[in-house]
Amino acid sequence: MQVWAIAGIPEIREGDDLAAIIGDRFEGDQPRDGDILVVTSKIVSKAEGRIVEAKDREQAITDETVRLVASREHPGGVTRIVENRLGLVMAAAGVDSSNTADGTVLLLPVDPDKSAKTIADELRERFGARIGVIVSDTLGRPWRLGQTDTAIGAAGIRVFEDLRGSTDAGGRPLEATITAVADELAAAADLVKGKAAGLPVAVVRGMGHLVGDTDLPGARSLVRSADQDMFRQGSDEAYAAGLRDSRLSP
C-alpha cells in the first residue's frame, strides 16, 4: 500500500469544483483503478459554503446538535460532547475554527456521503478509473487520549471488511471481527496530510479490493445505532439520571 498527499491544492472557496481542482493536481501519474482519495472535510465544507461567523459558534453548535451526551466546564469555557445531525458523537458537533479564515468557523458538510459521491462520480468520468473517495474528519475517542482521523463520508468503497466466517492464523473461526477499513484509511491518510501542512487530499493506492460502485453504503453506515450504543451518556450524566430515577421510583 502507498499513501501520499497531493500538493498544490489552493485555498478553497464557496462554489469551487473540488473534483476538478483535485483532478488538475495529479502530477504525471493519473489516478488508477482502485485508487482511493481521502479528502479533508474542511475543504468540502468550504466549497459548500458551510461557514459561519465565529461569534455565532456556540449557537452553531446548538443548531447542529440533536442530543447532548456530556458537558464539562473548564477554565476556558464549556466542552460539549454531542450527537450531531449526521449521527456522529463528537466535541462541539464538529464545528471547527482551525484552518479557516479569521473570524469564521466551519460546520461539517450537510451530507458527506453525497459529497464523496459527487467527487467520485466526476473523477471516474474524467479519468475512466474506478476511484473511491473518503471524506475525513478528526475525532476524539472514548477511553483513549488524542485524536485520529475517521471517515464521515464515503463513496465507491466498502467501508467495512467483514471477516466473520474466516479463520485466524491458528485456524480458529472469527465470529465478531468487522474491520472499519474506511476509518483506517482515513487515519493512514492523515499521517501524510498533517494538520497544518496545507495538504488536504491524499491518495491511497494498493487497496483496490475495497473499491466498488458508488452506490455502496457510505460512512453513515459506520455509526452505531442507538439500540446498540452501551455508552449513550457521559459518566456524570448517567449517574445523575440514575440518581434521579431512583428518587422517582416507588
Please write the tens of the pLDDT for every residue from 89-136.
999 999 988 778 788 889 999 999 999 999 999 999 999 999 999 999
**Lowest pLDDT segment from 5-14, 27-36, 181-190, 217-226:** 27-36
Measured in degrees and rounded to the nearest 5, phi and psi for residue 117 equal -65, -40
- CA 36, 40, 42: angle at the middle one, nearest 5? 155
CA–CA separation, 21 and 13 (whole Å):
11
CA–CA separation, 136 and 184 (whole Å):
11
| Grid cell for residue 18 | 473540488
Residue 243 has pLDDT above 70, yes or no: yes
- pLDDT tens for each residue of 152-185: 999 999 999 876 667 767 777 666 678 899 999 9
- pLDDT tens for each residue of 16-59: 999 999 999 986 678 999 999 999 999 999 999 999 888 888 88
pTM of the model: 0.91
pLDDT of residue 121: 97
Cα(first)–Cα(last) distance of the chain, in Å? 61
Domain ranges of the chain: 2-48+112-248
CATH of domain 2-48+112-248: 3.30.1330.100
